[in-house]
Amino acid sequence: MNIKKWMTTVAVCAAFTLAAFVGTASVWADKVTLKTGEVIEGVIERDESEFVVVKITKDGKTQTRIISRDDIKKIEKDDAKKGETKPEVKKDDSKKDAEKKPDAKKDEGKKDEAKKDDGKKADTAAVTGEKKPSNNPRDRALTGRATRIAVLHFGPPSNKQGKYGDMVGVHISAKAFADVVPILEKAGVDIVVIRVNSGGGYGLETDRFAELFQNVYKKKFRTVAWIESAISAAAMSPWPLEEFYMMRNGDIGACTGWSGNLVAVKGIELEEMLAKMEERSRWAGRDTKIMRSMQIREPLSCTIDENGNVTWFQDQTGEIQVNPPNEILTMTAELAVKTKFAKGVADTEEELAKAMGLTEFEFVAPEATKFIERYTEEAQRVEDTMRETIRKYQLAVGVAEQLPREQRAPEVGRARKLLNEIRRMVSINPNFRFHFGIDFSPAFFERQEEMLRELLK
Amino acid sequence: MRKKIQCLVSVLGLFTATAACWLSIPAVAMAQPGDEGTASTANNEPAVKEKNVDKWEDPETTRIYVIPFRGEFGRDFSQTPMKRAMAEAKKEKPDIILLVFDASYTINGETYDDYAQLQGQLSWDSIFRAAELATIFNEDFRADKEFVNRKGEKPRIIGWVKKAMGPSAFLALAMNELYFADGARVGGVGYLNFLFAGRGDEVVREKQRSLRLGKFEGLVSAAGYPTRIARAMSRSDGMLSYSMRGGKPVFFEDLTGDTILMDGGDPERRDTMEDLVRLRGNDVLTLTSTVARDLGISRATVNSEDELVSTLGIERGYAVRGEKALKILSQWSREISSAENRVVRNIREFQRIQINGRTPAERNAQRGRQLGILNNVKRDLEKYEEAISPENIQGAPKQITSEINVIIERIKTEMRLDK
């Protein structure tokens, strides 16, 4: 080792030791007294509404301990550090909000759930001794940086006043939600919120969505559903997600399959649909009876025991009546929270973040939000203009056919342009191949091209 | 050239035929609810009575801005005029926004008597629209950080209900601070359990009923009212009564309570004509001021702005404005009626134009006139799409616009080839 390198090493070590010493000096500044009487001294790294993260140095080893706020009797912070703990201010605000709001009680269920989760995290942290990067997207709120949340609109919100359609498989496409994943990843998103407002749509699209959410989204992000209205296919698509939050006026259910003039799906097809949704319920760790009452006319009730465990009954024997016999279930937010189907109620993004147990968060990836919105807008344009474009194409072809061969070129050119427009519109969504009453198969386009060529011969 | 034109006529015949559905508008004079401003309501009082306007600028004055909803839901009050009225209110920095519901029991242009409860089924197609319109006073209002009073606080939004029968009932019950006037009635959304009767399978009919009721229950619940009220107003196959205990209602899902809200309507209890015309029907629930107060939906019964202000506990002076909002809403109603009449007139005018000029230039001039008229129709349809009644123009505005686009293409093709 040459002298220069030695000097550098010493300097680095000294700096490190000094930093560690300075750190240690303030380690003992904060005291957390538990309800059990135990006093924990250390540095409060995060002070959240649901839990506190304390860094403790003991016997030269540093540990991070996460303590549920329910277990805490008292927190004493070093005066010198006052002003550093920004989340404290937020926490007070949230408490005030909760006091002001008549629905504060409704959030209790959600808080219980959050506490359970945090408890699990606390146990894990205590065993491992320190925070380690976790592959579980649900743990990313504890990485020390603000949690990055992206919102994707599964159907336009009601305040768009019906300007764009909300049909699953038409205006809401699994393809678009698959295509947006790289954008979400690039933006470093931790939580994806699927904000649902749709009256339903194609059953086949629910399969694509369910697979996508289960096999892609849930593995990459903490993915939650936030329900304004989730009817039929719009409820079945995000069903594999574990976490549902409701808007105060939210509703979810009415998943009966049908076609034509209100004709129900029956027989083996119905059994397939029921079985499929049972599987998706299991993916989400949800009782299969809930979705069953949304699909067919079966009563539903539940009982919540003193530990908060919910037992569901496909009859009326439970304490809470959820669906009467002979009706199809559509649950309101109130009922969804009461029965712990939903983890909380939120009308705004900020309320949602709080309901998810976050205090340090930022809403990011507007480009991802926009990507999905643009898809919906484009699908609406296709829906509005496809039939018109088909008729204009038929017009151009008809006119070309009636003209002498030498005068056809401009009309054929016009027809070809319209055919290309139809092809472009169909390419936006695989369902558009069938949606307009014509099978826009590759063979269809080949036949049309051939016919246009023939017109010029 | 003559042969070419004949060919074209045969090709284009197809398109003329497809357009016939909307071109064949009957030549009858159409009664327009908004011809005289807005549709009639039981109440003939002025919709807005401005008061103490000279004190408006006084810092001690409580500013009350009135937005009156009269006429037909979705037509006389739809999103555009409602948003404009709220924008007007925002400029005035009010302390209270008073939404006065005095809507007629009008659905799809037909006005019914209050006892016509069976027509309530027709209201249900508007439940989704009601949920959308409610966002103007809930989500949008909350999200607008600049919509504040002079102290920078959020104004209170208060609903004062004189009448909200039919779809307007959905909207009224989405407001969380309501006061009813004596004689007020909120309802006309019953018999949902008969919706789609006779069509398809019962399980699908129930699905359709469920998703509509779920939406209504969601609105009612978010406003802080019991969802069982929404059900009692909607379905005639249940029973609900209540008794007051310690100033609060206790509900019974049978007829044992002191006041019966709805009695299930099975054959022996079905409302008779005598009951209905005397507004005593109870197969489904229609909220009155007394019942609404008992159930905690109406905070108090008030019959004037003075009474309301006193009930609100506003002791210092107050001033009421709202002429501009009234003007916006009345003007909108007139514009809709005018636009519908114009669309019908223009389509007739389009039909009258014969393409019979002797030269291409003459014929194309005639076609040019056709194009001008069609573009005018399109403009009206696009501008007033949200409120134009399909019944009055024989088709949905969006579909007619699409038809017009194809006809315009056809005419342009004719012009291109007729040279």
- Residue boundaries of the structural domains of chain B: 2-30+333-417, 53-321
Task: Choose the closest CB to B7 out of A331, A388, A402.
Answer: A402
In our burial notation (b when 16+ CB lie closer than 10 A, e otherwise), range A326-350 reads: ebbbbbbbbbbbbbbbbbbbbbeee
A237's enclosing H/E stretch is none
- Please answer yes or no on whether B211 and A231 come within 8 Å at the CB atom: yes
Q: What is the pLDDT of residue B135?
A: 97
| Contacting residues of A for B134, CB less than 8 Å apart | 158, 249
Helix/strand/coil for B72: coil
Please classify residue A416 by burial: count the beta carbons closer than 10 Å to its beta carbon, then call 0-12 exposed, 13-18 middle and 19+ buried. middle
Q: Which residue in B203, B225, B9, B195 sits closest to B120, CA to CA?
A: B195
- Give the distance from residue A5's alpha carbon to the nearest chain B alpha carbon, in angstroms: 59
Name the residue ranges covered by the structural domains of chain A. Answer: 3-128, 137-364, 376-456
Task: Choose the closest CB to B206 out of A249, A327, A332.
Answer: A327
How far is the C-alpha of B226 from the C-alpha of A334, rounded, in Å? 10
- Please answer yes or no on whether B201 and A264 come within 8 Å at the CB atom: yes
Task: Note whether A3-128 and A137-364 share their fold.
Answer: no
CB atoms within 10 A of CB B63: 23
Task: Choose the closest CB to B215 out of A229, A247, A335.
Answer: A229
Asked if B95 and B156 count as a contact pair (C-beta separation under 8 A), the reply is: yes
SS3 content of chain A, % helix, strand, coil (to 5): 50, 20, 25
How far is the C-alpha of A352 from the C-alpha of A246, rounded, in Å? 9
CB atoms within 10 A of CB A190: 24
CA B64 centroid distance within chain? 24
Instruction: Among 1.10.3470, 2.30.29, 1.10.10, 1.20.1440, name the CATH number for the domain at B2-30+333-417.
Output: 1.20.1440
- Give the distance from residue B179's alpha carbon to the nearest chain A alpha carbon, in angstroms: 19
| Contacting residues of B for A232, CB less than 8 Å apart | 207, 211
CB atoms within 10 A of CB A155: 28
Helix/strand/coil for A57: strand
Q: Which residue in B234, B206, B208 sits closest to B220, CA to CA?
A: B234
User: From the candidates B138, B203, B219, B412, which should be mutated to test the interface with A, based on the most A CB atoms within 10 A?
Assistant: B203
Residues in chain A: 457
End-to-end CA, chain A:
87
Residue B412 has which token pair? 């342009």
* Chain B interface includes A384 (CB < 8 A): yes
* Chain A interface includes B418 (CB < 8 A): no
Q: What is the DSSP letter of B352?
A: H
Asked if A348 and A361 count as a contact pair (C-beta separation under 8 A), the reply is: no
| Contacting residues of A for B206, CB less than 8 Å apart | 256, 297, 326-328
How far is the C-alpha of B329 from the C-alpha of B335, rounded, in Å? 10
Residues 203-242 of A with CB under 8 A from B: 229, 231-232
Q: Which residue in A349, A342, A428 sits closest to A385, CA to CA?
A: A428
Task: Note whether B2-30+333-417 and B53-321 share their fold.
Answer: no
Asked if A200 and A294 count as a contact pair (C-beta separation under 8 A), the reply is: no
Sites in chain B below the pLDDT cut of 50: 1-43
Please classify residue B109 by burial: count the beta carbons closer than 10 Å to its beta carbon, then call 0-12 exposed, 13-18 middle and 19+ buried. middle
- Please answer yes or no on whether B203 and A395 come within 8 Å at the CB atom: no
CA B312 centroid distance within chain? 28
| Contacting residues of B for A331, CB less than 8 Å apart | 214
CB atoms within 10 A of CB B57: 10
Asked if B409 and B379 count as a contact pair (C-beta separation under 8 A), the reply is: no
Task: Choose the closest CB to A296 out of B18, B203, B205.
Answer: B203
- Please answer yes or no on whether B139 and A162 come within 8 Å at the CB atom: no
User: From the candidates B211, B231, B415, which should be mutated to test the interface with A, based on the most A CB atoms within 10 A?
Assistant: B211
Largest alpha-carbon pair distance within chain A?
A: 99
Instruction: For residue A284, give Cα distances in angstroms to A198, A243, A255, A340.
Output: 21, 8, 17, 14
- Please answer yes or no on whether B132 and A161 come within 8 Å at the CB atom: yes
Helix/strand/coil for A301: strand
Q: Which residues, in sequence order, are bridge partners of residue B97?
A: B65, B157
- Please answer yes or no on whether A161 and B218 come within 8 Å at the CB atom: no
Q: What is the DSSP letter of A216?
A: I
Task: Choose the closest CB to A330 out of B131, B213, B405.
Answer: B213
Q: What is the DSSP letter of A326?
A: T
- Please answer yes or no on whether A395 and B386 come within 8 Å at the CB atom: no
* Chain B interface includes A156 (CB < 8 A): no
| Contacting residues of A for B409, CB less than 8 Å apart | 392, 395
Determine the residue of chain A that is closest to B216 in CA distance.
A249
- Please answer yes or no on whether B200 and A348 come within 8 Å at the CB atom: no
Give the pLDDT means over successive 10-residue stretches in chain A (457 positions). 41 37 44 81 69 72 71 71 34 35 36 37 35 50 79 96 95 97 97 98 96 98 98 98 98 97 96 97 98 98 96 98 97 97 97 96 98 97 94 96 94 97 95 94 97 95
User: From the candidates B207, B208, B215, B217, which should be mutated to test the interface with A, based on the most A CB atoms within 10 A?
Assistant: B207
Domain spanning A137-364, CATH architecture: Alpha-Beta Complex (3.90)
Helix/strand/coil for A324: coil
Q: Does the structural domain B53-321 have CATH classification 3.90.226.10?
A: yes
Tell me, what's the ipTM?
Answer: 0.87
| Contacting residues of B for A161, CB less than 8 Å apart | 79, 132-133, 135, 386
Determine the residue of chain B that is closest to A297 in CA distance.
B203
Q: Which residue in A197, A207, A201 sits closest to A170, CA to CA?
A: A201
Determine the residue of chain B that is closest to A257 in CA distance.
B204
Whether the CA torsion A95, A97, A100, A104 is positive or negative: it is negative
B160's enclosing H/E stretch is strand B156-165
Residues 83-142 of A with CB under 8 A from B: 102
Task: Choose the closest CB to A250 out of B205, B218, B409.
Answer: B218
The CATH class for the domain spanning A3-128 reads: mainly beta
